Amino acid sequence: MSVKKDTTGRRSVQVEVEVPGTPEEVWQAIATGPGVSSWFVPTEVQEREGGAVTAHFGPGMDSTATVTAWEPPRRFAAESQGLGPDAPALATEWFVEARSGGTCVVRVVHSLFASGDDWDNQLESIESGWPAFFRILRLYLTHFRGQPCSTFQVMGFAPEPESKAWDALTGSLGLGAAGVGQRRNTGAGAPPLAGVVEAIREGTHPYQLLLLDAPAPGAVFLNACAMGGQVCMPVSFYLYGDRAYATAAREEPLWRAWMKERFGPLGEGHVA
């Protein structure tokens, strides 16, 4: 991954993914509040030029951008101070391009204008975060397109090293040594969870993504990230269908209690 630079001072990164669906269906997933909330974080979108896009990453961690272009179902753009109050404005463009065979390519481009490389690390960090969420987007459009979604997240913490904390989390959930395509169930003492492993990343900032059939049809995304001497381990649930809200409301307290007992302080979650 690298930042592209041109002679005007524009610095940019881009990430893309091919997903199933028509441009109109894909647009609903990436450019509306309910759609984005179904695979990313709880989000509201005012669907017009000049409207606001507000993403809720956690308590006190809202990100707001202003829509600068609105061309459904092909392109929209927004601008924010996403890198901080002293940083250049961050422009984000989303593109939907139809492909043969009933698929589309979704491309996101982040760019800013700067005379030096002070913000390149932040751009690269944004770039590195999208592939995991795009896996969830593809899973959503493949299996649950257009269905209601409810989400919640629980957070655990453990001392470094990251690898040891990750092994503790996945081991306690019956996910240790899992392989893509394998079915897994939670171990004894954890709330019921069952599904098939869709994706794994090992090494630094590991993650796992599972396609769930219990406690409801949906997905769960687990990852670990070392920061400030401790390891943060969010577990994010995306539940779909008419029973999703009721299931999320029932399951969230169980997962919070389980995480608190084993991995310390909890972050605040959200039932959408």
Q: What is d(CA 170, CA 222) in angstroms, rounded to the nearest whole number?
A: 9
CB 82 within 8 A of CB 13: no
With H, G, I as helix, E, B as strand and everything else as coil, classify residue 15. Answer: strand
- Final residue of a structural domain among 95, 121, 143: 143
Same domain, 87 and 175: no
Same domain, 27 and 97: yes
- Virtual CA dihedral for 74, 240, 133, 40, nearest 10 degrees? 70
Same domain, 131 and 159: no
pLDDT of residue 58: 76
Q: What is the separation of C-alpha 78 from the centre of its chain, rounded to a whole number of angstroms?
A: 18
Q: Is residue 38 part of a domain?
A: yes
Asked whether the CA dihedral 90, 127, 236, 145 is positive or negative, the reply is: positive
- Final residue of a structural domain among 143, 158, 190: 143
State the residue range of the domain holding 139: 4-143
- Final residue of a structural domain among 143, 160, 189: 143
Instruction: Count the domains in the chain.
Output: 2
Same domain, 54 and 123: yes
Pairing of strands 183-185, 194-201: antiparallel
Q: What is d(CA 195, CA 182) in angstroms, rounded to the nearest whole number?
A: 8
CB 96 within 8 A of CB 135: no
* pTM attached to this predicted model: 0.92
Cis peptide before 131 (omega within 30 of 0): no
Which tokens go with 207?
Answer: 């993650």
With H, G, I as helix, E, B as strand and everything else as coil, classify residue 190. Answer: coil
Domain CATH number, residue 129: 3.30.530.20
Same domain, 197 and 230: yes
pLDDT in tens, the chain (272 residues): 589 998 888 999 999 999 999 999 999 999 999 999 999 999 999 999 999 999 998 777 899 999 999 999 999 999 998 677 778 899 999 999 999 999 999 999 999 988 778 888 889 989 999 999 999 999 999 999 999 999 999 999 999 999 999 999 999 999 998 899 999 998 778 999 999 999 999 998 999 999 999 999 999 999 999 988 899 999 999 999 999 999 999 999 999 999 999 997 644 443 44
DSSP H stretches of helix in 1-87:
23-31, 33-37
Same domain, 163 and 257: yes
With H, G, I as helix, E, B as strand and everything else as coil, classify residue 143. Answer: helix
